[in-house]
Structures are given as structure tokens and as C-alpha cells.
Chains A and B, each alone.
Chain A
């Protein structure tokens, strides 16, 4: 349980990778992911799906994140198995059900690849580029920054309570839920204190003085981006033509 949570909390932390794709402008990465996503939504037959998977796997391997993508893929396959089963029970043909199930996997992969190649920092820049209000962008930034920290807090509290004899995985469902009270209460107290400190630190660094803060760097397309855009878009258009 604790190990699982540690693993999850690490999943929320973006890992930097040094690859050609990672160095692209985040807007280009978003474009590529949206193109994959659209294709995955539109295609229907198994050969087209296979081509999309090859594309995704190619992109993942030049971004050096294949092993992490495969992890997501396995999770998605688990769900798609359920989708497959339900469809077959509902009386659809096996091929049709398989198409729907695999399409689900393709959609999940094309979304998750975006988050694997885009750091939260870059995401923030993209949000600002879309003119999302500063308060919302900052809420997003703080959420992403503190989710793993809060998870680690929870782990520490679980450890502490276990060493005092709390048994989480014992008893019927209701006692199991009750078991979580000694974890939730200190966790909430902890995070209320933390949010108070955050608010003080924000105030003392002039948060909200101007409505639209300046930003240290500006997004700029370099030569690689300018080549990647037409390249990916032409493949995308070809894909569209073939699938329809």
C-alpha cells in the first residue's frame, strides 16, 4: 500500500529527458498530440489503428519515454479488456468490439504522451499563451507542484500511525474506512497549515499586484519547430484522407 502510493506520487513528478522531441516548443508538442488524438478518434479499421500505434511508438521511442508509455498502455489495456468484454456481451461482433477497445487505448496513449513530453513548466507557458487568466494558471501550477508533496505527507502520517499500531488493512469495509480517520485528520491539519504559509509567502512576494504578470521567457519557435509543424501536419492530413 505504502509502496504503491510512493510509486503514484512519483508518477506525478515530471522527469526531464534529453531528447529531440522534449526540446520542441510546447505548442508544437500539443499540436502533435492533438493530431494523434484526432486520428485515434476518427479511424475505425484495425490496419489504420495499427498504423497509429506504430506512429505513437515511434514518437515515444525518439522521445526516449517508451518504457513509461508502455506502463500507461498496460493500464489502458486492462480497461480496454473490460470494454471488449462488455461489447461482446452486448452482442457486437468480435472485430467491432476489438476496434472500439483498441481505439480507447490509442486515445489514452495520445493524451498521455503529451504529458510525458511536456514539463509542467512548459504547460504553464502554453496556458498563458492561450490567455488563461493568471489566477487559474497559478492554481494549476500550485496544484501540480504540491500534489506529490501532499502524497508524501500522507505517506509519512501513515508510517507514523502504523508504528503506533494502526492497522489499515484489517476488518470489514466499514472499519477499513474508519481506519483512515487517524490519517485524514492530521493530513488535513497539515495542509491547512501549509496553505496558510503559502498564502503568506504569496502576499510577501506581491502576488496579484498586476493583473497580467510578465513572464521570464517568451515562447519562440526555433528552426526545429518550424520544420516539425509542416512535417507532422502533412502526415496528419494524409492520415485523415486515408481514414475517411
Chain B
């Protein structure tokens, strides 16, 4: 039988060694292949902790009390090494500065492959394909300090993609970017999914950037999952929406209008949806 889910949390709880309380409490969660999932929640609710548990930084690097199981592409995280998981799931961290190690971007792109002892021919092919996939050929021989923040974030992404992971994890990848660059970055991520098909888990505070492209919106609060459904369902029907997650303006507008009996044909979460809906209304009148 073929598994549909690629990431699975089973009754998972975790407490950092230095903390008194469990940060994640009895998490049960399945993420399917090729889904794009947004993880949202107020600051300190445990989003990064959840992501760390996927690639094994928890428990292999951050020790603590660990209950339940996490299964990633049929590997039980607790039983395998971080490096085995790293080939399956790539992690782009919040600050690109701290994940670019080498002095030239092309060398940094193959950093992971070099560490695995990959042959030179394969590495050269991989660099070329990734530079063109992300349209950053002009950055190949640049040094990290010559890059803008947006370019750094793309370079960090390139270094992860070079290892051809099935799962891409992005922890607040746009928090250091200006709005335009942030939109560009999210578009690149969306393109990637269309071109090479990956499972993507993204933590993003600016929900309006991502609700339009996501399959699921998971809301974490106080270490528990309080919502897990498609974004329209969550943003429209949830009665547990917390203001901290940054509900998109359009979604608030929609909810308020709907409450005052304005009748919509569809649930609306993006500007595009709203424009479409308004146009249709105009022609019907």
C-alpha cells in the first residue's frame, strides 16, 4: 500500500531540557505528499520547535523529554541520524546570513553535496540546474557579502534545493525581506512546487502572502494544533482565530460583509478572489 502522508506526528510531545513545560503537547498531524502547508500561530507557540522535530534537530541536537513518534518519509526521526533526514527534508532558516558558509554562492550551493562526497560532475550539473531554476545565474561567483537580503535568501534556498529533498521546510523565510522581495520569494517557492513537486511546510506571519497558494493552514497555539484545514475553511469558519496570526485584511473584510448579509458566491481569502467576485456581481446586477 502506498502511503499518502509524508510527515506524520503521532501523539508527539516535547519539552526542552532547560524548560519546565512541554512546548508541544500531544501533536497528531499528517502532511500529505506535495502539499503546501502554512504553519501559523502566535510567537513562542512552538512553530520552530515543530519544524526542528521534522529534520531531527530535535531530539538529536536539542535534547529534552520526547514522547510519541515523528515519521518522515517512512523514517522514524528518533531512530535515524540528522544527516539521513537532511537528504529527505531541507530546512531554510529565518536568517540567511547564518546558513551561507562559503565565499562564493556556487560553492555554498554544493556545500551539502561536498559534505556527502558527491562527485564533481554531478555537483557541476546540480549547480547549473539550480542557478537557472531560481534564475540567479548572475550570483554564482559572488561573495555572500555582495548580496542583498532577498538574494541571500534565494542563495540559502538554492543550497537546500541542491540536495534534492522531497520536503522543503521554510521558517519565516520572508521576515527579513521588504514586502516586494517577500512576494517575489513566495512566488519562487510556488513555482518550485509546480516545476518539481515538493512537499512544502512554511511558517509565515504575513498570511496574505501565502493563503492563495496553500493547500492547508495549520494553526498552532500554546503547543497544540487548534486548526488544520484548507485556508478558506479555516479563515472563514474557524471560531478560534486568534488576532496574533495576522488574518489577511481581505479575509476580515469578507467576514464582516458576510456577517451583514452581503451575499457572496464563494469564500474569499485573496485580493484576486475578491476582485473576481465583485466583477461577477457587477455583471449580474
Contacts and interface: CB of A to CB of B under 8 A. Distances in A.
Interface residues of A, number: 36
Nearest to A142: B101
B102 A121 contact: yes
Contact of A210 (B97, B104, B115): B115
A203 B57 contact: yes
Contact of A205 (B95, B117, B163): B163
Contacts of A201: 91, 93, 98-99, 101
A204 B119 contact: no
B108 to A, nearest CB: 9
Interface in B90-140: 90-91, 93, 95, 97-99, 101-104, 106-107, 110-120, 123-124, 127
B86 A148 contact: no
Nearest to A201: B99
Given A124-B103, A148-B145, A214-B119, A205 B124 contact: no
Contacts, number: 103
Interface stretch (A65-73, A77-85, A191-199): A191-199
Given A194-B98, A205-B163, A121 B107 contact: yes
Contacts of B150: none
A215 B103 CA distance: 13
Contacts of A217: 120
Contact of B111 (A198, A205, A218): A205
Contacts of B87: 206
Nearest to B107: A216
Contact of A214 (B57, B83, B97, B120): B120
Interface string A138-158: 100110110011000000000
Interface of A: 13-14, 16, 119-121, 124, 138, 141-142, 144-145, 148-149, 194, 197-210, 212-218
